[in-house]
Structure 1
Amino acid sequence: MTVTERPAHATEAVQLRQVSRVYGTGDRAVTALDAVTLGFRSGTGTAVMGPSGSGKSTLLHCAAGLDRPTGGKVVVAGTDLGPLTETARTRLRRAAIGFVFQSFNLMPALTAEQNVALPLLLAGAKPPRDAVRAALAEVGLADRARHRPSELSGGQQQRVAIARALITRPAVVFADEPTGALDTGSSREVLGLLRRLIDQHGLTVVMVTHDPVAAAYADRVVFLADGRVADELTAAGGPPAAAEIATRMARLESAC
């Protein structure tokens, strides 16, 4: 079994039940999420889209345990995040959640293999070199293990970030605009890699994106508006089409 493989489950890796997030109080209160109920099934890819201010980033932060909701429940890998202390939440994130960011967030002084090993080191574990090399091989960078980020292209840096997200064999990977800083060719490589990891290794991916082409690599697209689930698209027989996704987005934006 490679570092990216997980057993196939028909369960939900992440559950949000009536999750709300309000910032501020009184007249200045802003509702970023309004009683959102969603489930993200293991071994699938979900794209989250919506107009600016629709609550996409807040949903990701609450689902990943980076922010505490004002109300409702978030369950990750069978664990209710609500009762956990900050220390326990941090431990769960390190063990069960992977992150991929638009800006890669690699440590510039570390090599690719050292960046991949970092989550295990932070968790107090000794990174097995074979596992680190296997993760890099999985993303097509076995020959770049000793290269630092400055010696890699943007697409290669993002693939290192994906390998880093996979090294702990997480229950879910949250990707925040993972292709936002990449050119078209590199974007397609990264999206194709994520799709392959979903299909072949049962990876669970929740991706926030504004790009209909990127969203078309997912199994399902969830559209948010004003902090609520406004629409959902799942195409039978394969991922939704980019044209249909763009049409749904245009409809939402015109209504705002």
Structure 2
Amino acid sequence: MDVKETVRLWSVRRLYGTADRTVRALDGVTASFHPGTMTAVMGPSGSGKSTLLHCAAGLDRPTEGKVIIDGTDLGELDETGLTLLRRERVGFVFQAFNLVSALTAEQNVALPLKLAGRPIAPAEARAALAEVGLADRAGHRPSGLSGGEQQRVAIARALITRPAVLFADEPTGQLDTKTSRQVLGMLRDLVDNQAQTVIMVTHDPVTASYADRVLFLADGRVVDEFTSGVTAESVAARMANLEAVAS
């Protein structure tokens, strides 16, 4: 594996169902993701976007093929090893924020460290909140935060362990246009200034336009890739073609 790759998928297949009724959610996907890059994964409904994200993040095991994160082959890990790798090397941001309502923003951010049994320095969680522009909201619970603030807390929580890769599943799906741009701008800054690797699934061409690269999936395969000239208009046009074929 190229040492510069943060994540590598080799001929990944993910099958569901039985021999009589098999669904190929992923059908031989090979792709690599490098430090300091943001990749958007797009495709029609049922194209395999979420399955790709889950297999790449170690949340689901592929039926065939390899997934390598930060030099570690996930297929060689047992469930305990996989859990530890996800805690230490993988960050995940969900559309629904998934914050614990009874905890403050600071406590939510520190939660991965607590689950990993690591010492928790309050200054560390506060510094993570400061990185996402929420230094003054550390004592607020989720109910006292706006949707955009909750998503920024979720991003700070995902980054507290300094993961090799940050996965995001529709990270702006519940946000208005202005707040979405703020969150995407923050992710872009993490990529450009801290060499963070970001891989996100989105259905929105504007969100995808913040990425360096767009992978297009259809029927579980990578069918196209934009690595330059990524604009909302070019992405929307390509998606329209894919959806027309899928319908």
Q: Per the shorter chain, which TM-score range?
A: over 0.9
Shift of 1:143: 0.0
Q: How does 1:1-256 map to 2 (within 5 A)?
A: 11-235=4-228, 240-256=230-246
Aligned residues of 1:56 and 1:208 also touching (Cα < 8 A): yes
- What is the rounded CA distance, in whole Å, between the counterparts of 1:152 and 1:100 in structure 2? 17
Shift of 1:128: 1.7
- What is the rounded CA distance, in whole Å, between the counterparts of 2:194 and 2:19 in structure 1? 47
Q: Which is worse superposed, 128-137 or 202-211?
A: 128-137
Provide, for residues 102-137 of structure 1, a one-character-per-residue CA deviation record: whole Å limited to 9, x for no partner: 000000000000000000110110122221111100
Give the secondary structure class of the aligned counterpart of 1:133.
helix
Amino acid at match of 2:226: L
Provide, for residues 129-185 of structure 1, a one-character-per-residue CA deviation record: whole Å limited to 9, x for no partner: 221111100000000000000000000000000000110000000000000011111
- Structure 1: runs of 5 or more not aligned: 1-8
Number of residue pairs the alignment of both structures matches: 245
- Structure 2: runs of 5 or more not aligned: none
Provide, for residues 165-214 of structure 1, a one-character-per-residue CA deviation record: whole Å limited to 9, x for no partner: 11000000000000001111111110010001111111110000000000
Aligned residues of 1:10 and 1:41 also touching (Cα < 8 A): no
- What is the rounded CA distance, in whole Å, between the counterparts of 2:150 and 2:204 in structure 1? 20
Shift of 1:10: 7.1
Aligned residues of 2:3 and 2:71 also touching (Cα < 8 A): no
Give the secondary structure class of the aligned counterpart of 2:15.
strand
Aligned residues of 1:47 and 1:208 also touching (Cα < 8 A): yes
Computed over aligned residues only, the root mean square deviation of the Cα atoms, in angstroms, reads 1.0
Give the secondary structure class of the aligned counterpart of 2:6.
strand
Query: Identical aligned pairs, as a percentage?
Result: 69
Amino acid at match of 2:61: R
Q: Which runs of 4+ in 1 moved over 4 A?
A: none
